[in-house]
Structure 1
Amino acid sequence: MLIVMAGLPAVGKSSVAGELGRALPAAVVSVDPIEAAMWRAGVDRVQPTGLAAYLVAEAVADGVLALDQCVIIDAVNAMEVARRQWRTLADRHRVPVAFIEVVCSDSRVHQQRLERRSRGIVGFEEPTWQAVQQRRTEYEPWIDDRLVLDSIADLASNVAKAQEYVTGGT
């Protein structure tokens, strides 16, 4: 199965992805560390490293799926073109794809999480609150069925909901 996390920066999708990956188990492929690695390798930040990171994540996920293992993609996935990328990958492997969008219904809490977070990704600069707000305006409508989790709820209950969603309650 291919599980695709989505949501704005700092809503909590990486936390859900990590715990869900442990619970299933499933490999977690995160776009932000991939992009940071490109920058550390000397790829100029003016290059389309965001797009490149999605393509590298796809290549890694392709390899995991080829081994008949589950994989979780951890990325913003704000654009329909990105979501289509994951549907196409799942189709190529003839596996189901499950989308999970994580939101934070309290903008004050969301901003505090963003401003306080330190994920330890060497070379990765966290976005500003203004950049996250701009990204929110660019977020494209969903056409896929998806589970929406509000990160105001505790992590354990969100992970349980996600696990039930992707396993069909089994």
Structure 2
Amino acid sequence: MAILVSLSGLPGVGKTTVSQSLSARSKVMHLRVDSVEAALERSVLNIRSAEDAGYLAIASVAKDNLLLGFDVIADTVNPIEITRKLWAVTAATASAQLLNVEVVCSDTDVHRQRVETRKSDIEGLAVPSWKAVSQREFEQWRTDRLVVDTSVSSIEDCAATIACEMEKMRSTVR
């Protein structure tokens, strides 16, 4: 049974870096909402405020690949209950397991330094300021999730923790 890893966390905590490490180590398909949103904004349709469209687009691509049996990691901020439910529905529709992962950087100074020195690696994507990140709405989780902290564990250790949890999930459905 395929697994959908739904990441959440504020910008600058290390979600994409953890996703890339997990993808390389475990051959998990990495879907990054920032890439889709930036492409939508660059499109000839001149789409703005593309957050909803980006989430819906990668949820559709995730579902297609889960149905083919591929594990998928959705790399998004995933800040509110409605976006979190989107991933639960996506997994259920594809008869896949869902692993919610919150990526945090508990050291505020480290987080701020990451945000303030971050450069965009996607054409057209403007990275948010520290003020925007620190004021961003991020609802508390009401459901279980795995939490990894990139200020106390290396990126590789965070990816290994997620991979280990995925293996535990696989062993319970056999």
TM-score over 0.5 for the pair:
yes
Distance 2:12 2:150 in 1: 10
Letter aligned with residue 57 of structure 2: V
Preserved CA contact (<8 Å) 2:120 2:126: no
For 2:76 and 2:18, the matched residues in 1 are separated by 12
Distance 1:50 1:44 in 2: 14
TM (normalized to structure 2)?
0.91
Q: Secondary structure at the match of 1:3?
A: strand
Aligned to 1:50: 51
- Give the Å deviation of 1:107: 0.9
Q: For 1:63-74, list aligned pairs within 5 A.
A: 63-74=64-75
In the TM superposition, residue 43 of structure 1 has moved relative to its aligned partner by 4.5
1:4-37 deviation per Cα after TM superposition (whole angstroms, max 9, x unaligned)? 1110001001111111112221110000011000
Number of aligned residue pairs: 167
1:94-113 equivalent positions in 2, closer than 5 A: 94-113=95-114
State percent identity of aligned pairs: 36
- Poorly superposed stretches of 4+, deviation over 2 Å: 42-45
Partner in structure 1 of residue 162 of structure 2 = 162
Secondary structure in 2 matching 1:73:
strand
Q: Which residue of 1 aligns with 2:129?
A: 128
The answer to whether the 8 A contact 2:30-2:73 is kept is yes
One-letter identity of the residue aligned with 1:162: I
Q: What residue ranges of structure 2 are gaps of 5+ in the alignment?
A: none
Q: Equivalent residue of 1:168, what SS?
A: helix
Q: Which runs of 5+ in 1 are unaligned?
A: none
Per the alignment, residue 140 of structure 2 pairs with: 141
Cα distance in 1 for residues equivalent to 2:123 and 2:110: 25
What does residue 32 of structure 2 align with? 30
TM-score of the superposed pair, with normalisation by structure 1: 0.93
Measure the CA separation in 2 of the matches of 1:165 and 1:35.
29
Q: Distance between the aligned counterparts of 1:158 and 1:101, measured in 2? A: 11
